[in-house]
Amino acid sequence: MTSTLYRRGVIHSAADPFAEAILVDGATIAWIGADDTADGLAARADEVVDLDGALVAPGFVDAHAHVLATGLAIEGLDLSPGAAGGSLTDVLASVHRAAEDARHGSPDALAQPLLGFGWDDHGWAEGRAPSVDDLDRAGGGAPVYLARADAHSGVVSSSFAEVAGLRGLAGWHDDGRVDGAAHARAREVARDVPTGRRDELYRLALRSAAAAGVVSLHEHSTPSTDTRDGLAALLAMTADAESGLTHVVGYRGEACVTSDDAHEIMAAIPGLAGIGGDLLVDGSLGSHSAALRAPYVDVPGGDRGTLFLSAEQICNHVAAVTRAGVQAGFHVIGDRAMDEFMLGLRAAVDVEGIDAIRGAGHRLEHAEMIDAMTLAGLVLLGVHLSMQPAFDAAWGGPDGMYAARLGAGRAASLNPFADVAAAGIPVAFGSDSPVTRIDPWAAVRAAVGHHQRDQRISARAAFRAHTRGGWRAAHLDHTGAGELRVGAPAHLAVWRAENLAVQGAGRATSGWSTDARAGTPLLPDLDPQAATPVCVRTVRAGVVLHDELG
- CATH number, domain of 27, equals 2.30.40.10
So what's the pLDDT on residue 507? 40
Q: Domain range holding 431? A: 253-479
Q: Are 24 and 69 in contact (CB under 8 A)?
A: no
So what's the pLDDT on residue 107? 57
CA 45 to CA 520: how far, in whole Å? Answer: 28
Within this chain, do residues 304 and 384 fall inside the same structural domain, yes or no?
A: yes
Number of domains in the chain: 3
Within this chain, do residues 74 and 50 fall inside the same structural domain, yes or no?
A: no
Within this chain, do residues 99 and 160 fall inside the same structural domain, yes or no?
A: yes
pLDDT tens profile 503-541: 333 343 334 444 444 556 778 988 888 889 999 999 999
Asked if residue 231 is part of any domain, the answer here is no
Asked if residue 219 is part of any domain, the answer here is no
CA 420 to CA 424: how far, in whole Å? Answer: 7
Q: Are 268 and 291 in contact (CB under 8 A)?
A: no
Asked if residue 206 is part of any domain, the answer here is no
Q: Are 173 and 399 in contact (CB under 8 A)?
A: no
Mean pLDDT across the chain, nearest whole number?
93
CA 172 to CA 270: how far, in whole Å? Answer: 36
Within this chain, do residues 319 and 260 fall inside the same structural domain, yes or no?
A: yes
Helices 335-352 and 372-380 sit at what angle, rounded to 10 degrees?
A: 30
Region of poorest pLDDT, from 108-112, 120-124, 457-461: 108-112
Q: Are 546 and 210 in contact (CB under 8 A)?
A: yes
Q: Are 512 and 457 in contact (CB under 8 A)?
A: no
Q: Any idea what the Cα angle at residue 66 is, between residues 64 and 71, rounded to 5°?
A: 135
Asked if residue 294 is part of any domain, the answer here is yes
Within this chain, do residues 267 and 340 fall inside the same structural domain, yes or no?
A: yes
Strand partners, 366: 332
CA 76 to CA 224: how far, in whole Å? Answer: 18
> Is residue 287 pLDDT above 60, yes or no?
yes
CA 76 to CA 113: how far, in whole Å? Answer: 10
Asked if residue 370 is part of any domain, the answer here is yes
Within this chain, do residues 34 and 151 fall inside the same structural domain, yes or no?
A: no
Q: Are 463 and 469 in contact (CB under 8 A)?
A: no
Within this chain, do residues 272 and 307 fall inside the same structural domain, yes or no?
A: yes
Within this chain, do residues 363 and 402 fall inside the same structural domain, yes or no?
A: yes
Percentage of the chain exceeding pLDDT 90: 89
Which of these, 135, 181, 190, 134, lies nearest to 163 by C-alpha position? 190
Percentage of the chain exceeding pLDDT 70: 95
CATH number of the domain within which 140 lies: 3.10.310.70
Q: Are 223 and 279 in contact (CB under 8 A)?
A: no
Task: Say which residues have a Cβ less than 8 Å from residue 393's Cβ, sequence separation at least 6.
Answer: 442, 445, 446, 449
Within this chain, do residues 113 and 49 fall inside the same structural domain, yes or no?
A: no
Q: Are 37 and 499 in contact (CB under 8 A)?
A: no
Instruction: For residues 249-262, give the mean pLDDT.
Output: 98
Which of these, 346, 465, 464, lies nearest to 415 by C-alpha position? 465
Within this chain, do residues 93 and 154 fall inside the same structural domain, yes or no?
A: yes
Which of these, 386, 390, 103, lies nearest to 218 by C-alpha position? 386
Entry field: residues in the chain:
550
Strand partners, 516: none
Within this chain, do residues 402 and 262 fall inside the same structural domain, yes or no?
A: yes
* Domain final residue pick, 190, 212, 239: 190
The separation between CA 331 and the C-alpha centre of its own chain, rounded to angstroms, equals 13
pLDDT tens profile 117-165: 999 999 899 999 999 999 999 999 999 999 999 999 999 999 999 999 9
* Continuous segment of H or E residues that includes residue 386: strand 384-387
Region of poorest pLDDT, from 192-201, 254-263, 397-406, 500-509: 500-509
What 3-state class would DSSP assign to 427? strand
Task: Say which residues have a Cβ less than 8 Å from residue 351's Cβ, sequence separation at least 6.
Answer: 315, 319
Please, what is the end-to-end C-alpha distance for the chain in angstroms?
Answer: 21
* Domain final residue pick, 151, 170, 190: 190
Phi first, then psi, for residue 177 (nearest 5°) are -70, 145
So what's the pLDDT on residue 108? 60
pLDDT tens profile 401-455: 999 999 999 999 999 999 999 999 999 999 999 999 999 999 999 999 999 999 9
Asked if residue 425 is part of any domain, the answer here is yes
Within this chain, do residues 475 and 495 fall inside the same structural domain, yes or no?
A: no
Instruction: For residues 368-375, give the mean pLDDT.
Output: 97
Is the four-CA dihedral 345, 348, 349, 355 of positive or negative sign?
Answer: negative
SS (H, E, C) 147-166: EECCCCCEEECHHHHHHHCC
Asked if residue 271 is part of any domain, the answer here is yes
CA 320 to CA 346: how far, in whole Å? Answer: 14
* Domain final residue pick, 165, 190, 215: 190
pLDDT tens profile 307-364: 999 999 999 999 999 999 999 999 999 999 999 999 999 999 999 999 999 999 999 9
Contacts 24+ apart (CB under 8 A), 42-46: 42/5, 42/7, 44/3, 45/3, 45/4, 45/5, 46/2, 46/3, 46/4
CATH number of the domain within which 364 lies: 3.20.20.140
What 3-state class would DSSP assign to 51? coil
CA 521 to CA 431: how far, in whole Å? Answer: 25
Which of these, 435, 430, 434, lies nearest to 446 by C-alpha position? 430
So what's the pLDDT on residue 303? 94
> Is residue 252 pLDDT above 70, yes or no?
yes
For residue 257, CA distances in Å to 24, 314, 319, 323, 364 come to: 46, 9, 8, 11, 19
Q: Which residue has the higher pLDDT, 85 or 212?
A: 212
Whether pTM exceeds 0.85: yes
Contacts 24+ apart (CB under 8 A), 206-209: 206/67, 206/238, 206/245, 206/246, 206/248, 207/245, 207/545, 207/546, 208/70, 208/74, 208/438, 209/62, 209/65, 209/70, 209/246, 209/438
Strand partners, 124: none
